[in-house]
Amino acid sequence: MGIIVQKFGGTSVGSVERILHVAQRVIQEKNAGHDVVVVVSAMGKSTDQLVDLANQISSKPSKREMDMLLTTGEQVTISLLSMALAEKGYEATSFTGWQAGVETEASHGNARILNIQTENVKTELSKGKIVVVAGFQGVSEDGQITTLGRGGSDTTAVALAAALKAEKCDIYTDVTGVYTTDPRCVKSARKLESISYDEMLELANLGAGVLHPRAVEFAKNYQVALEVRSSMENERGTLIEEESSMEQNLVVRGIAFEDQVTRVSVLGLPNELTTLSTIFTTLATNGVNVDIIIQNTTSDLKTSISFSVKTNALEDTISILEQHKSILQFDKIESESQLAKVSIVGSGMVSNPGVAAEMFDVLANEGIQVKMVSTSEIKVSTVVDQVHMVDAVNALHDAFELSKEVASV
Ligand code: ADP
Ligand code: ASP
Ligand code: MG
């Protein structure tokens, strides 16, 4: 039998009791004859607590020191889980990200994994040991400790599964699988038996926090067999695979949403060929991540551009635009916060032109104003007032009948 990678998230390792329970699940796979690599997150909300500690000391802590601080969270869990396994009579070795050979870009806070040197892990596995790896962390070429972005332990697990050519990667969490939407917000959300990599990637990128987007990217690129399942219940979870075999022909597969969206409008820009490229190059080179973009030309001479950013990037966005005012030559900047993005996702949309219209119709009937729109072959995103976010998701979930069981084909 081959290697299995199991990943347990924060809630699943949130107490000593839960860590002992996780140890039992790891042992089950070991006893079934697999080589087992376990990736764990920090216990419960401990990463948030570490962020909070830093904020009590500095309003803008150094990114390097933040990574140094946050990586301690996962290290608590790897050692405790290894001790738990030892208590139950199973030899385990814990590894930090760098000991496990997780090499990343030289950037702090949101580094990408570039490569995994698997020698240490393989050596321990060959001795019959269980290997317990700290998620969410790595090391850059110049020896700096890095983190992979919030929720990044999923990515550690899938990247390890790819590098080790594991048989499968199980993501154990506090829900029983991937649902049609976040079951915390929509009571009738339904667990999916399977979903395609592409659909899952869209959902994850559009705010469905159940999987880190880069984990899905790795799974797709390296064809890792991925399952999201519960660490508490013993039922089957959701398979993420190349083409979802079940529930084909479904126009909308799921709904994702995120709050803390802000619309920035740059008014009175010169209506020139290079205006768009200048403004977005300026923002990109200064590290501002822009999402939906709308251009509104008001006369032959003037144009306006609106775009959405995460609300925590607003201050930087405005200051960068102001710094470049002499080149950009705009009249003024306006912004609107307290917005949210609500998106419907499904690969069946490609061949169904009326889906966006239906979405707008549903929102209009609820009295919800759509402030920005963006579409791709498999998604439609709308920006609405944050206060309407959950109502919008519920209305769309009902209208597209996502809670209904769909016959497999
Ligand atoms: P972990 O700590 O195990 O990584 P997360 O909190 O990161 O867990 O992810 C699990 C959570 O994702 C669930 O509790 C759920 O509220 C949320 N979630 C958002 N969208 C979905 C979805 N479509 N299906 C399932 N869970 C979702
Ligand atoms: N502990 C990190 C976080 O809370 C990484 C993770 O849980 O995946 O974001
Ligand atoms: Mg997570």
For 291, the token pair is 């999402």
Beta partners for residue 341, in sequence order: 258, 383
Of ligand 1's listed atoms, the one at least distance from the Cα of 212 is: 7
Which of the listed residues 158, 210, 233, 235 should we mutate to test ligand 1's pocket, taking the one with most ligand atoms within 8 A of CB?
A: 210
Q: What span, in angstroms and rounded, lies between the C-alpha atoms of 305 and 237?
A: 43
For residue 409, the model assigns a pLDDT of 46
Least confident among 29-38, 162-171, 396-405 = 396-405
Q: Rounded CA gap, 170 and 227, in Å?
A: 5
> With 60 as the cut, is the pLDDT of residue 344 above it?
yes
In the reported structure, the alpha carbon of residue 218 is separated from the centroid of ligand 3 by a whole-number distance in angstroms of 15
CA-wise closest residue to 97 among 139, 151, 141, 152? 139
Cβ neighbours of residue 162 under 8 Å, at least 6 residues apart? Answer: 218, 219, 221, 222, 224
The residues spanned by each domain of the chain are 3-174
Ramachandran region, residue 271 (left: φ > 0; alpha: ψ -120 to 50; beta: rest): beta
Cα-to-centroid distance, 205 and ligand 3 (Å): 13
**Interval 48-80: pLDDT, tens:** 999 999 999 999 999 999 999 999 999 999 999
For ligand 2, whether the C-beta of 121 sits within 6 Å is no
Q: How far is the CA of 179 from the centre of ligand 1 (A)?
A: 9
Beta carbon of 237 within 6 Å of any ligand 2 atom? no
Summarised one tens digit per residue, pLDDT across range 234-291 is: 999 999 999 755 555 578 999 999 999 999 999 999 999 999 999 999 999 998 999 9
Domain with residues 3-174, CATH architecture: 3-Layer(aba) Sandwich (3.40)
Tell me the C-alpha distance between 193 and 177, whole Å: 8
Average pLDDT over residues 82-111: 97
- Shortest-distance Cα residue to atom 4 of ligand 1: 9
310 lines ligand 2 (CB under 6 A): no
CA-to-CA distance for 197 and 219, rounded, in angstroms? 8
Read off the pLDDT of residues 353-378 as tens digits, 9 standing for 90 and up.
Answer: 899 999 999 999 999 999 999 999 99
* DSSP for 62-121, written as a single string: -HHHHHHHHHHHHHHHHHHHHHHHHHTT--EEEE-TTTTTEEE-S-SSSPPEEEE--HHH
* Interval 16-22 mean pLDDT: 98
From the CA of 73, which ligand is nearest? 2
Residue 349 Cα to ligand 2 middle (Å): 33
**Cβ of 202 below 6 Å from ligand 1:** no
Q: Is 171 in the pocket of ligand 1 (CB under 6 A)?
A: no
Between the alpha carbon of residue 329 and those of residues 22, 299, 302, the distances in Å are 58, 16, 11
Looking up tokens 């009590």 gives 56
What's the chain's average pLDDT? 95
Give residue 80 CA to ligand 2 midpoint distance, Å: 17
* Among the bound ligands, the one closest to the CA of 254: 1
Return binding residues for substrate.
47, 74
Instruction: Tell me how crowded residue 248 is: count the other CB atoms within 10 A of its CB.
Output: 14
